[in-house]
Structure 1
Amino acid sequence: MAIDRQKTETVHWHAVFTASRAEKKVRDRLEELGVECF
């Protein structure tokens, strides 16, 4: 008897506090590192 396991993906959420007017630079850098940004 085979056990069929479903792969579960854990999603981690993080909040980032940035300096005033630095949001775009931080977002661009995070996206370069492969981090999905909202």
Structure 2
Amino acid sequence: MSYYQSPEDVFDDTEAMNRWGNEAYAAALRAARRR
């Protein structure tokens, strides 16, 4: 299983963190669906 660290700049921007988190969650759901 691969893990990715979030970009440093999202820690200062809550909107960017929400977008990044939502994209990461969506990617995890897509990966789970393929199994």
Q: Return the structure number with greater relative CO, CA threshold 8 A, min gap 6.
A: 2
Which structure has greater helix proportion?
Answer: 2
Which interval holds the TM-score relative to the shorter structure? 0.3 to 0.5
The normalised TM-score by structure 1 is: 0.41
Larger C-alpha radius of gyration, 1 or 2? 1
